[in-house]
């Protein structure tokens, strides 16, 4: 089937949106910024290595959590070991996208990598659970700029008609890293120490910093020449404070609710945080509408009716799957009493199902040109697999928990890939592509921050 016919059929099913832009021009980049040859390969390698670290950090500690909680005697903080990273990342993601449009892209990206490295070092050296959580939060701030900045840099130095292979490789690196994280974390935890789950980021990140310092040079954008005070105003600091405050209150309520008499679900503290989140988010939305295109998240991005579908599908596919990724390795170690490495190996059915389905699912969609049946089927498989995994018990056969993981892995891969496809079909104007992808990235990968914390309550 003709590729353009596929695009037309898929976009027609997506609703009344414009036909996607054909990949036959330079995408509006400055010819002086284009990077080719070995230099492009080195810069792209640096981007992929940083993306690899962020992807690993998503789930790397899943198999290390039992050892960490045992050392710190902190089972009540389990939800925060992942939640702190996700909260910080989700809260700062929109701001990260803004910084790359106002400040020098090279130094902005390096600053985020340095922040991520600093957070990793704090976690690796942490003497207590509280310090460990602080390190995870710092790393989350850095990660928001790494993922967003990688997309910005690629769309700045690579013409549109050449861009797919490079952005696709970076995205694939992230997906593979995020699903093999538990295996890597389990191996490091058992054979070295859990602290190497974070030490490992330092040499790899250092190499990437060196590559960027030596080989990445572009012209300053016009927006970078503004005065510092003007740049700060354009960052929409008020919007950022409101957005970050709403996210933090929501996660705090989910983390603390029901853990003690003081934080009962009907206590004034928990009700106040939920109410505060709703009120703050309402003010944030009003503020964004007031600022329009100068807003942290421009309202025009949500005019298309597909935007709510993108965000809802992303949240309800990634959120439940994060619970599986985070809690299943803990169940293997705590209930079946296996080692961290063995726990990671038992998680491989999910990894393999995810990777294989990603390859064949994308091929089938390209051939048939229809995305919606695959999205529906994927969401159904996540529900089925997750529901079946909730029935596992100490005496369950290997075939059952392997099969349940395969169902969940197939569903996750299909759902997430179809959400990404729908996002690209919705991004009709090249000037919007980067911004839409940055905003949706916070939903696609980071918004499910609340799910591990919320599901923790069912175990207490």
Q: What's the pLDDT tens digit per position in 69-111? A: 888 887 777 777 877 887 888 788 878 877 887 888 888 999 9
Question: How far is Cα 19 from Cα 440, in angstroms, rounded to an integer?
Answer: 20
Question: How far is Cα 94 from Cα 90, in angstroms, rounded to an integer?
Answer: 8
Angle, nearest 10°, between helix axes 105-125 and 129-157?
A: 160
Q: What is the pLDDT of residues 345-367, one digit of tens each?
A: 887 888 788 778 877 776 777 67
Average pLDDT, the chain: 77
Q: What is the pLDDT of residues 4-32, one digit of tens each?
A: 444 434 444 444 444 444 334 444 566 67
DSSP for 249-306 reads HHHHHHHHTTSSSTT-TTSHHHHHHHHHHHHHHHHHHHHHHHHGGGSSS-GGGG-STH
Is residue 4 one of the residues assigned to a domain? no
Q: Which of 235, 260, 278 is the last residue of a domain?
A: 235
DSSP for 378-421 reads HHHHHHHHHHHHTT--TT--HHHHHHHHHHHHHHHHHHHHHHHH
In terms of domains, do 76 and 185 share one? yes
In terms of domains, do 77 and 212 share one? yes
Is residue 118 one of the residues assigned to a domain? yes
Is residue 460 one of the residues assigned to a domain? no
- Whether this prediction's pTM lies above 0.75 is answered by no
163 is written with which tokens?
């861009």
Is residue 54 one of the residues assigned to a domain? yes
Q: Given its phi and psi angles, is residue 2 left (phi above 0), alpha (psi -120 to 50 degrees) or beta?
A: beta
- Greater confidence (234 vs 16) lies with 234
Is residue 241 one of the residues assigned to a domain? no
Is residue 269 one of the residues assigned to a domain? no
In terms of domains, do 58 and 178 share one? yes
26: helix, strand or coil: coil
In terms of domains, do 318 and 209 share one? no
C-alpha separations of 336 from 321, 333, 397 in Å = 21, 6, 12
- Which band of pLDDT confidence, cut at 50, 70 and 90, is reported for residue 455? low
- Determine the pLDDT at residue 426: 56
Is residue 405 one of the residues assigned to a domain? yes
Is residue 56 one of the residues assigned to a domain? yes
CA angle 32, 37, 41 (to 5 degrees): 105
Residue 457 has pLDDT above 60, yes or no: no
Q: Which domain holds residue 215?
A: 29-219+231-235
Q: How many domains does the chain have?
A: 2
In terms of domains, do 182 and 93 share one? yes
Q: What's the CATH code of the domain at 91?
A: 1.20.1250.20
Q: Quick check: 248 and 135 in contact, CB under 8 A?
A: no
91 is written with which tokens?
């809260």
């Amino acid at each position: 089937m003709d590729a353009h016919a596929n695009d037309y059929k898929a976009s027609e099913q997506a609703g009344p949106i414009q036909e996607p832009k054909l990949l036959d021009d330079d995408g509006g980049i400055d010819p002086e910024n284009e990077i080719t040859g070995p230099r492009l390969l080195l810069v792209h390698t640096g981007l992929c290595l940083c993306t690899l670290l962020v992807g690993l950090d998503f789930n790397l500690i899943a198999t290390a959590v039992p050892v960490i909680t045992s050392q710190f005697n902190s089972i009540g903080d389990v939800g925060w070991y992942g939640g702190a990273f996700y909260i910080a990342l989700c809260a700062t993601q929109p701001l990260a996208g803004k910084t790359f449009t106002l400040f020098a892209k090279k130094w902005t990206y390096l600053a985020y990598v340095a922040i991520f490295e600093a957070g990793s070092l704090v976690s690796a050296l942490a003497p207590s659970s509280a310090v460990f959580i602080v390190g995870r939060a710092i790393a989350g701030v850095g990660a928001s700029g790494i993922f967003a900045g990688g997309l910005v840099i690629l769309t700045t130095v690579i013409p549109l008609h050449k861009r797919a292979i490079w952005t696709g490789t970076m995205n694939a690196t992230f997906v593979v890293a995020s699903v093999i994280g538990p295996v890597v974390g389990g191996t490091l935890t058992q054979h070295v120490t859990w602290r190497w789950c974070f030490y490992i980021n330092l040499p790899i990140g250092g190499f990437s910093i060196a590559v960027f310092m030596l080989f990445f040079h572009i012209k300053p954008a016009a927006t970078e020449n503004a005065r510092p005070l003007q740049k700060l105003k354009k960052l929409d600091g008020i919007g950022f404070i409101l957005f970050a405050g709403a996210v933090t209150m929501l996660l705090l309520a989910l983390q603390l609710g029901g853990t003690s008499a003081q934080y009962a679900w009907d206590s004034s503290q928990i009700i106040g945080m939920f109410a505060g989140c709703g009120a703050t988010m309402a003010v944030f939305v009003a503020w964004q509408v007031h600022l329009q295109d100068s807003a942290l998240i421009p309202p025009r991005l949500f005019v298309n009716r597909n935007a709510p579908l993108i965000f809802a599908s992303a949240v309800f596919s990634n959120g439940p799957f994060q619970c599986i990724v985070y809690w299943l390795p803990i169940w293997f170690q705590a209930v079946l009493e296996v080692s961290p490495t063995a726990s990671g190996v038992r998680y491989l059915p999910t990894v393999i199902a995810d990777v294989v389905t990603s390859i064949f699912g994308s091929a089938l969609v390209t051939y048939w040109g229809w995305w919606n049946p695959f999205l529906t089927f994927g969401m159904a498989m996540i529900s089925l697999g997750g529901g079946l995994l909730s029935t596992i018990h100490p005496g369950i056969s290997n075939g059952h928990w392997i099969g349940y993981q395969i169902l969940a892995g197939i569903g996750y891969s299909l759902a997430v890939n179809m959400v990404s496809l729908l996002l690209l079909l919705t991004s009709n104007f090249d000037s919007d592509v980067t911004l839409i992808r940055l905003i949706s990235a916070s939903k696609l990968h980071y918004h499910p921050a609340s799910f591990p914390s919320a599901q923790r309550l069912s175990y207490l």
